[in-house]
Amino acid sequence: MFLKPFRVKTQTSVKSSDRKKLRSDILNQYPCLTEQDVATLVPNKEEMSATKICTSGDDNVLVYSVAKNPIFYDIFKRLYPTVYTLWQFPEMLPTFRTWPPVFSKLQKGADLMLPGVIPDKRPSPKMFGNLQKGDLVTVTVAGNKAPVALGKALLSGEDMYMSALRGKGVSVLHIAGDTLWEFGDKSNPPCIPEPVPKSGEDDDGDNKEGNPNEAVGASVVADLENVKLEGDPTESVQGTSDATEVDDQSSLGAALMEGKDEGGSDEEEDEEEQRDPVAEMDERLHFCFACAIKGRVKKSELPVLTGNFLRNYMQPFSADKQLDIKKSTFKKFSKFLQLKVKEGYICMKEQSKGVDVITEIDKSHLGLRDIEVPEVVEAAVAGKGEQTEEETFTPLSFTDVYCINAATQDIFKEEGFSKGDALIVADVRQCVTNYIRNNNLHREDDKKQVTLDPVLAHIILKPAEGDLDHMNWEQVINRVMGKMQQATAIISGSGPPTIKKGKLDPIKLDVAMRASQKKVTVVDNLEDYGIDVKVFSRLVQRSLACSCSVAPSEQKNKGPQVLIQGNQINFVANVLIDKYKIPRRYVTGLDNAPKQKKKR
């Protein structure tokens, strides 16, 4: 969590009332500490601050510091002690002992493997006490009782024994040498000597050789003194160990390294750990931008929407890898483009509120001189024969139909139709006309009038109309259709139509407010029209270069809804009507679109 630099959001002093509450929370979560111990950790008069930080993994953490040394950090109301606190109370948590060479691997982000653990007792189901999965534990180095890391048990004590001490044992949360440790005074762990167990030694045997405790205990101090404080805090910390321990330590250290990456070499593991995904994404963005400016954008195509520039001009040069702005240091594409404006590559202007366009490009910029656009990428850009998932969508056709029900089936049975059949308006008119003619119901004296037989009279007459015996042709047909059940026939390609009885719910477009007064466009009922919400979400995300996600609907028995960052009603409506061929009458909420400012 703290291997990479974090960002400080706010820092405030802790009031006396907050200190009292913090002491109570510490006592509740760590009953092994006494009130006097907690008073030592959280004093009344010393300077104390609470710092809100955001880690590289976008986790919000609250760090409590006394005299500028972090003592606890809070995540979801759970307090975790730092190494500075553990050095004052080294026995407040269960401890796992390991060898000094393993310490440098833990600093790189490795988990503590069970083969690298030095047990205190003979192997038994209770060798680790009553340890449960998820319990907090500390990690020490042989020869020194001072904890060097805080972790979480990945197995219970009994499961560790049943696994024959193989596999992962502890997930390291915080370790001496990481950025949280650097947030304090960067002091070294105290040396609290302890006997160093030997490989194969009985649990009650003591190490009585010379004085190896100080040498092994001091090895961690040497490791921390070699930490490169300028640069990447995740770099390995090179340490030395006592020569008398090399044989035993090397075998256990190798077991830990093997457990972290089975089948891989140490050099490959180090290379992978040194790769920074954020730096890689930044480098990819700069390269794709340069390739797009030099080999793709034509001045005749300007101005270009910034969203289209990312999707149509930069993305093809990413070698089939997604350009994810959120995984870069810029977080937003607009910030990246603003940097390029300052460097002189492009000029931009705001076309409308929230919509930016690139108006000018400088192909003679010195930064483009050494850029060579790969031929294979250019070929891929030139060849657009492959159809995307969005392009293969077959638009649906919607037709209003009328289903024959029990009230009207007597009119249509002579035409071979039965209850439940769906007819278009023309077929309904033809069937009613044939029924009138076959039964000689048309009047000779007035061709616009129809004589009502008992069947028609029962279907179309209202109770107040009583003994009415004739009616206009159009009125008869309209009343018959009014008695039938309305439905919609949805036709996709050459397949049979899907009949949706009742009123077809339209695609609903709405604008909602989220946290920090940010707007989000909500699109409902897409699946009723045969639209894949995931494909639609990707289309919007690539076109607008904005956040777009699929979430369950807030209403029961409704399909998923699409959430789009900002007010994008106009764009979504154009895509649905022009691309997906959805009739405008089936799209509601168009009045929520942002109002266009009048040009003076």
Confidence at residue 198, expressed as pLDDT on a 0 to 100 scale: 56
Inform me whether the pLDDT recorded for 348 exceeds 70: yes
Instruction: Verify cis geometry, omega within 30 degrees of 0, for the bond prior to 303.
Output: yes
Q: Which of 269-283, 313-327, 408-422 has the lowest mean pLDDT?
A: 269-283
Q: In what order do the strands lie in the sheet with 69-75?
A: 7-13, 48-54, 60-66, 69-75, 78-81
Q: What is the mean pLDDT of residues 428-434?
A: 88
Length of the chain: 600
Give domain limits for the chain: 7-81, 90-260, 277-382, 397-501, 507-592
Q: Which of 12-26, 86-100, 471-485, 551-565 has the lowest mean pLDDT?
A: 551-565
C-alpha distances in Å from residue 137, one per residue of 22, 81, 88, 93:
21, 10, 15, 5
Inform me whether the pLDDT recorded for 303 exceeds 70: yes
Q: How far apart are the C-alpha atoms of 241 and 355, rounded to whole Å?
A: 60
Q: Check if the beta carbon of residue 405 is closer than 8 Å to that of residue 484.
A: yes
Token output for 591 = 């009045």
C-alpha distances in Å from residue 291, one per residue of 1, 125, 297:
35, 62, 9
Q: Check if the beta carbon of residue 14 is closer than 8 Å to that of residue 50.
A: yes
Q: Which CATH class is domain 277-382?
A: mainly alpha
Our measurement of the distance from residue 218's CA atom to the centroid of its chain's CA atoms, rounded to an integer in Å, reads 43
Confidence at residue 253, expressed as pLDDT on a 0 to 100 scale: 37
C-alpha distances in Å from residue 1, one per residue of 62, 108, 464, 559:
13, 11, 79, 37
Q: What is the mean pLDDT of residues 472-483?
A: 87
Inform me whether the pLDDT recorded for 224 exceeds 70: no
Inform me whether the pLDDT recorded for 544 exceeds 50: yes
Higher-confidence residue of 490 and 451: namely 451
Query: Using one digit for the tens of pLDDT, what is the confidence trace for 102-137?
Result: 988 898 888 999 988 988 777 787 888 888 888 999
Query: Using one digit for the tens of pLDDT, what is the confidence trace for 556-596?
Result: 667 788 999 888 898 999 888 888 888 888 899 888 888 76
Q: In what order do the strands lie in the sheet with 112-113?
A: 95-98, 136-141, 144-153, 168-175, 112-113
Confidence at residue 229, expressed as pLDDT on a 0 to 100 scale: 37
Higher-confidence residue of 193 and 509: namely 509
Share of the chain above pLDDT 70, in %: 80
Residue 197 Rama label (left phi>0; alpha psi -120 to 50; beta) = beta
Confidence at residue 450, expressed as pLDDT on a 0 to 100 scale: 85
Confidence at residue 209, expressed as pLDDT on a 0 to 100 scale: 40
What is the chain's alpha carbon radius of gyration, rounded to the nearest angstrom? 37
Higher-confidence residue of 78 and 204: namely 78
Confidence at residue 23, expressed as pLDDT on a 0 to 100 scale: 92
Residues 6+ apart with CB under 8 A from 307: 333, 543, 544, 545, 546
Contacts 24+ apart (CB under 8 A), 122-128: 122/202, 122/203, 123/161, 123/165, 124/161, 125/157, 125/158, 125/161, 125/162, 126/157, 126/158, 127/157, 127/160, 127/161, 128/94, 128/157, 128/160, 128/161
- Which of the listed ranges 59-63, 221-225, 449-453 does the model predict with the highest average pLDDT? 59-63
pLDDT confidence bin for 212, thresholds 50/70/90: very low
Query: Using one digit for the tens of pLDDT, what is the confidence trace for 248-264?
Result: 433 333 333 344 344 44
Q: What architecture (CATH level 2) is domain 7-81?
A: Roll (3.10)
Q: Which of 24-28, 490-494, 505-509 has the lowest mean pLDDT?
A: 490-494
Question: Superfamily for 397-501?
Answer: SWIB/MDM2 domain (1.10.245.10)
Q: Check if the beta carbon of residue 220 is closer than 8 Å to that of residue 141.
A: yes
pLDDT confidence bin for 267, thresholds 50/70/90: very low
Higher-confidence residue of 559 and 219: namely 559
Query: DSSP E strands: which ranges in 191-236?
Result: none
Token output for 130 = 């009553």
Query: Does the 90-260 domain belong in CATH 2.30.130.10?
Result: yes
Inform me whether the pLDDT recorded for 240 exceeds 70: no
pLDDT confidence bin for 24, thresholds 50/70/90: very high
Confidence at residue 170, expressed as pLDDT on a 0 to 100 scale: 92
pLDDT confidence bin for 307, thresholds 50/70/90: confident
Average pLDDT score over the chain: 78
pLDDT confidence bin for 138, thresholds 50/70/90: very high
Q: Which of 128-142, 385-399, 487-501 has the lowest mean pLDDT?
A: 385-399
Confidence at residue 147, expressed as pLDDT on a 0 to 100 scale: 93
Query: Does the 507-592 domain belong in CATH 3.30.780.10?
Result: yes
Inform me whether the pLDDT recorded for 69 exceeds 70: yes
Token output for 6 = 């974090």
Angle at 435 between CA 430 and CA 436, to 5 degrees: 100
Does the pTM surpass 0.85? The reply is no
